[in-house]
Structure 1
């Protein structure tokens, strides 16, 4: 069936939205079926489906399998104030972009986001998270977007105190980027982020494809469960892709410490590293260059995130690009859906990443990897 032009789908969306706003269709009322809308607007079924799906994403309608599509109850169409509980906000680039994605969402015009203060020191993150939690509770926000604290020794208990307080206040929570529980366990809260296991799998596969034989994974101790998922994907790729023919090692430590890095080089003689993130990759690159290693001639490096400075490092960094704006837009939709349907099972909404090939991996920037890579920027 030939799809209708884009403006036709917009016309349908706007007309149904107008009917809901004007009160022609009241909260809880069943909307005409897709078959009826196809006939009414002279559109294809796919065009009508697209319009209704977007209305659902906007929180204006609820689709019930076997029953039809209904106008969402007033609780989903009213304005909400949401709190951003992100202790690393302003320090980790990805969260700023995620928050911008929320504000750019077509759902955002009816709602407000409260931005709390971030912790200036790592030792303060737990306290800041708990203080901000209490502040949002006192403000009676409609929901919280929470990025759990990582790295600090008391992070696990602090994160649980935060969500326990929010549960007591009956405030819904959507986790950003990372779970509360160690991988592969999951919490009872919705989570929006990237598919960390698959992301690391693809990055490792890329290193193998360009010739790496001894690959090290490097991460900071006490990292978030996302890093454990990346380690799982790293190991899985090596085992599945090469039947164990590639040597590998997982290393936890400070990538900026020459002593630590020299010990890895002496013990494992790696010819490539997959780093837990671009920040670690940047530190590792600086350390390797300072001790006389050449990148990528001696050692290849791949990161994860595609932060702004990744292409500006001494050797432009090959990495996996996180769709941060899409994460933000999706997180807002998940929150609105949670408010409209509080009894839904908890969900992980995991987005895919895309390889950005630059010089650090030894491949030509324009080289494509099974359609997943794109030129370095």
Structure 2
């Protein structure tokens, strides 16, 4: 076995730095070692020096390499530690929102971050009941989960009381919770649980600013009833962008739509809506189909944008302008927050807001002579 005395001063410096990370718990078992260039920059050494130190750790059995991924800390204690078990409670995962790609990314992380992900099944859209949610919780309790990732229910009349009932049950069972995408309380209330998502206020602001920069003085917002608490934040951001541009927001520019038939859509267009921010991409795509029944063309007659950048948004007949959520980064952050919450249950509640991208596409371009980058990073 290699000893520290046999190392050059610089290699020894890297070797001892990594051992310090291991021994002080800054790098838990199963977690990836920082990138070689990151370590080299921090310690002011060359990348080959870092590579040599890591190679020695691998030879000594303190770390292991995973082809195409990176190097990870190995449990050298001789005892196999129980993996953490994390339950997934995403009631709307089957409805084309962002939860499916986030779930896929979380599943990919389970091997390298040493946890097991369990999911009890898929609910049936807006017909979800509190009983179904409770049955899922009971299943997770039987599986002895260490924590639950929860995307609160929405789009049904009883979503708020159901969310509160589920949260209260988990609280009584003392099971750690990380809220994904949005708060379960009605806006602007904030619970005592960790929350990971994007800055929805700023996302609404940027969406409205896109139309304002094209010279528009009226911008409408379209939502459905009982939507998640991300939507009021997006509306506030949209209204603030109007105010900052000297435009007084009107309450009748915000529309709540129940169905997407021509009869439901016509009053909105007839009232003067030409530039419409939709609360998410699903609404935007259903709205576009309704407009087609009225022979209203996009973007010539009406311009729209959405949120989430779901897969279909890229390939819709009229490419949809949208706020793209960083699903891969969200997944990693969600898991890191959950694992740290399990390890340190007394930490204060955290709100972690990630960045996003405004993807400008054909659906929102008012004047084709105005030049926009296809992707604008904000």
- Are residue 101 (structure 1) and residue 111 (structure 2) matched? no
CA contact (8 A) 2:275 2:302 kept: yes
Aligned length: 323
Go from structure 1 to structure 2 and tell me whether the alpha carbon gap of 1:253 and 1:19 turns closer, same or farther (over 3 Å shift).
Answer: closer
**1:189 Cα shift?**
0.5
Correspondent of 1:118 among 115, 118, 122: 122
Q: Do the aligned residues in 2 keep the contact of 1:87 with 1:128 (CA within 8 Å)?
A: no
Deviations 1:173-203 (A, max 9, x none): 0011111111221111001111111111101
Unaligned runs of 5+ in 2: 1-9, 27-38, 51-76
Secondary structure in structure 2 of the residue aligned to 1:342: coil
TM-score w.r.t. the length of structure 1 is 0.77
After superposition, give the CA deviation of every residue in 1:45-68 in whole Å (9 maximum; x if it has no partner). Answer: 589xxx9xxxxxxxxxxxxxxxxx
Q: Give the match's secondary structure for 1:105.
A: helix
Aligned-partner Cα distance in 2 for 1:212–1:98? 35
Q: Is the 8 A contact 1:86 1:148 kept in 2?
A: yes
Query: Which of 300, 303, 306 is the aligned partner of 2:309?
Result: 306
Among 293, 301, 307, the residue aligned to 1:290: 293
> Max radius of gyration: which structure?
2
Paired residue for 1:71?
none
Q: Summarize the Cα distance change of 1:121–1:44 in structure 2 as closer, same or farther, 3 Å threshold.
A: closer
Deviating more after overlay: 210-219 vs 223-232: 210-219
Q: Deviations over 1:292-338 (max 9, x none)?
A: 21211111111111111112222111111111121111000001111
Partner of 2:240: 236
> Structure 2 matches for 1:204-223, cutoff 5 A?
204-223=208-227
Partner residue, 1:35: none
Q: In the alignment, which residue of structure 2 is the partner of 1:137?
A: 141
SS at match of 1:303: strand
Matches within 5 A, 1:80-99: 80-99=84-103
TM (norm. structure 2) is 0.77
> 2:14 and 2:97 mapped to 1: Cα distance?
38
Instruction: Label 1:88 to 1:42 Cα distance change in 2 as closer, same or farther (>3 A).
Output: closer
Are residue 275 (structure 1) and residue 278 (structure 2) matched? yes
Structure 1 pair 219/78, CA: closer, same or farther in 2 (3 Å)?
Answer: same
Match of 1:367 in 2: 372
Rounded Cα–Cα distance in structure 2 between residues aligned with 1:116 and 1:87:
11
Give how far 1:152 is off: 1.5
